Chain A
Amino acid sequence: MIRYLNILLVIFIFFPIKAIALIEVDITRGNLNPLPIAVSPLATDNKSNEDLEKIFKKKNIGSEIASVVENNLKTSGLFNPLNKDAFLQKPDIAHLKPRFEDWALIKAQALITGKVTYENEKLRVEFRLWDVLAGKEMMALAFTTVPANWRRIGHIITDKVYERLTGEKGYFDTRIIYVAEEGPKTKRIKKLAIMDQDGFNTKYLTLGNELVLTPRFNPTNQMVTYLSYFRNLPRVYLLDIETGVQEVVGDFPGMTFAPRFSPDGKKIIMSFAIDGNSDIYTMDLENRIVERITNHPSIDTSPSFSPDGKYICFNSDRSGYQQIYVMKNDGSKVKRISFGKGLYGTPVWSPRGDLIAFTKLHKGKFYIGVMRKDGSGERLLTENYYQEAPSWSPNGRVLIFYRETKTDSEGKGFSAKLWSIDLTGYNERLVKTESDASDPSWSSLLSN
């Protein structure tokens, strides 16, 4: 036995075995082209369709919901919804068992199918997301709600699909609050308005008797803080969207402006100006205790908390020019982070915490840009005659801001519109509003 072992040992020593390694290829690049996706109209049975037609005065609610999803996916810039005319399979059959070869034939990589039923005055919408190339189901969910919420169902479906395919949360079931503007430039009527992120379901929250500016959502979306005039002084207000109750925040002897909520929604941070000097203050909404954060003879304004609440970014002209600074939430360790040419203002911390968006003014042009929280990696996303006030989508991928156009020699042609742009800087879109609009603020997700 041992003899054999010894022979084996000698064999191993003198005849080494040749090993063949597995070939490895590193793929470090891909494309950022929008993903081709087919959104099949949601199938509706005849009875439900008849009932829903009476309620909505719309022929096919399944197609309408699919259109909401399709429009959302398209505006994200990350998806390319395919033309419905090319679809080979009927919606009801596709929802049960898609013929993947047919969908692959039209170059779809993902497919959304669904079904709408109406029973007991409730709308039930189910949908499935399919991986066409792998030939498998990726996700299946169903929602039941009152029929009036059909658009929200479309937004929620988009959020789920977006998250499943991109790996980050969506931003479609959200609302935008803004200042709706009407009338000539010298005599503008400004009202607070709120709408879905796709521009539908607009509601006006104020009548337009007083000037309103800079509305901001709090993290629970129930409350809004904004600037309005009280006894001819600009003051920070608080408004409960559901009840319509509004109140002045704090009893300050001077003017307060540029309000924003803390990430936990318990505090409001704002600027308070007296005798030509403005500093940053916070006010606890529970006990109404006011705390001074900065104390400097320069103008400190536009404060914004980091998502963890530990830091605050703001702009100040303490260096001689308006620049962006970061400090701890108690006002210590103030550090300038913007060093580029021009003036920097309206810094807003991304909900992801990695970036700070800002408005920059340089050589008569306005830019919307982003930089890392330490000031590095400044990127200007868009340039225009006049644009400012960026606000982040809840997933930190898209910025909404407003842009004004030049008036001509006769004082005509002025307009203010909302625009959105994603972090790539390529997907810039006009956001539909009923009237002129400015100072947008994006809510967090209404459903999680």
Chain B
Amino acid sequence: MIKNVIISSGIHFIIIFIAALSLPFLAKKPIDLPPIISVELIQIAEKTNIPFAPKARKIIEKIKKKEKEKITSEQAPPKKVKKEKPDSVPLPDEKIDKVKKIEKKKQNPEKLDEEIKQVSEFEKKELFDPNTIAALIDKSKEEIAETTKKTSKVTQSQDKNANSYGLTLNEEDALKAQIFGCWSIPLGLPYNENLLVRIKLQLKPDGTVIKTEILDHARMNKPGQGFYKVLAESALRAIKLCQPLRVPTKGYERWKDLQLNFDAREMLEG
């Protein structure tokens, strides 16, 4: 019996070992690691107003003058993308989500799932081509920055991926701004204590709160932590006062469970 187990485990180990070594060769394209360029990945919604980098602005203006096809690049203004083709062009935040995903896939091509496979290698290159970024930095390479139009296929794929990530900057900002207005901060809290209250929410699609749960509930009744109860209650009042919360109109699955971290320290310390 033990012998069989050892044999079975051994064979499995060999299979795993061989698979690990051989599967990368099945990839369509060998890994060609581009020079590392530091890029800060942020989620940008269609209305998020991110200013152009000065050099990128010049390039874009030049290209516009030439009346060529539209530009799609990492630093292109999201609004422009939407204006030119509102129905089919993917949202900028989705684009960047895609970039994240692709980086992973390149290193582990055997793990690609069906959704990702719909995106062609060409499109991947277009989305995260370091040369495109380099072109924006270096004027001499501005022609390279011009890329072709996106297909609606990509949009569908990215839309699905977006659902598995957090809120976009705009969505988060809208929610924050709403709660800022509703949250009356108790002024008598001690500055030198942990003033973080974490509340988990269950939401309806219209933003109405179904359930609230204070994650550090045990702290409410701890001796010497009376201020925490006051703070937690003020946060709950803010949520109740604000509802229905300003949540995105789409992607309910993404945000039906939400955690709000109320931290009063910044306000109290001034």
Contacts and interface: CB of A to CB of B under 8 A. Distances in A.
Mostly helix, strand, loop or mixed at chain B's interface?
A: helix
B9 A6 contact: yes
A134 interface: yes
B186 A27 contact: no
B135 to A, nearest CB: 34
A21 B164 CA distance: 8
Nearest to A29: B180
B176 interface: yes
A352 to B, nearest CB: 9
A363 B182 CA distance: 42
B16 interface: yes
Contact of A2 (B5, B188, B261): B5
A167 B261 contact: no
A6 B13 CA distance: 10
Contacts of B128: none
A27 B257 contact: no
A2 B4 contact: yes
A165 B230 contact: yes
Nearest to B262: A27
Interface residues of B, number: 52
Given A2-B5, A131-B233, A167-B231, A23 B254 contact: yes
A397 interface: yes
Contacts of A164: 230
Residue of A24, A27, A165 contacting most chain B CB atoms (<10 Å):
A27
B166 interface: yes
Given A13-B16, A131-B237, A134-B233, A22 B258 contact: yes
Residue of A10, A21, A23, A131 contacting most chain B CB atoms (<10 Å):
A23
Nearest to B1: A2
A209 interface: no
A25 B238 contact: no
Interface string A415-436: 0000000001000000000000
A167 B259 contact: no
Contacts of A29: 176, 180, 183, 266-267
B108 to A, nearest CB: 10
A25 B188 contact: no
A139 B230 CA distance: 12
Interface string A229-250: 0000000000000000000000
Contact of B184 (A9, A109, A134): A109
Interface stretch (A31-39, A49-57, A119-127): A31-39
A264 interface: no
B262 A167 contact: no
B12 A6 contact: yes
Interface string B207-221: 000000000000000
Nearest to A36: B184
Contacts of B241: 109, 133
B164 A18 contact: yes
B263 to A, nearest CB: 5
B183 A30 contact: yes
Contact of A27 (B15, B184, B255, B261): B261
B238 A168 contact: no
A78 B230 CA distance: 14
A131 B189 CA distance: 19
Contacts of A109: 184, 237, 241
Nearest to A396: B188
Contact of A24 (B5, B111, B185, B261): B261
Contacts of A187: none
B172 interface: yes
A2 B9 CA distance: 10
Interface string A357-382: 00000000000000000000000000
Contacts of A9: 12
A424 B188 CA distance: 12
A28 B267 contact: yes
Nearest to A135: B240
Contacts of B172: 25
Interface string A2-27: 11001001100100101011111111
A83 interface: no
B261 A26 contact: yes
Contacts of A28: 263, 266-267
Interface in A109-142: 109, 131, 133-134, 138
Nearest to B259: A24
A424 B187 CA distance: 10
B236 interface: yes
Contacts of A35: 184
A25 B236 CA distance: 15
B261 A25 contact: yes
Given A22-B200, A163-B188, 5 more contacts: A6-B8, A24-B259, A25-B175, A27-B262, A31-B181
18 contacts: A2-B4, A10-B15, A24-B258, A25-B259, A25-B260, A27-B176, A27-B179, A27-B262, A28-B263, A29-B183, A29-B266, A29-B267, A30-B180, A31-B180, A134-B233, A134-B240, A167-B189, A167-B190
Interface of B: 4-5, 8-9, 12, 15-16, 111, 164, 166-167, 172, 175-176, 179-191, 200, 226-227, 230-231, 233-238, 240-241, 254-255, 257-264, 266-267
10 nearest A-B pairs in the assembled complex, by CB-CB distance: A168-B188, A30-B183, A166-B188, A167-B230, A167-B227, A30-B185, A133-B240, A167-B188, A24-B259, A28-B266
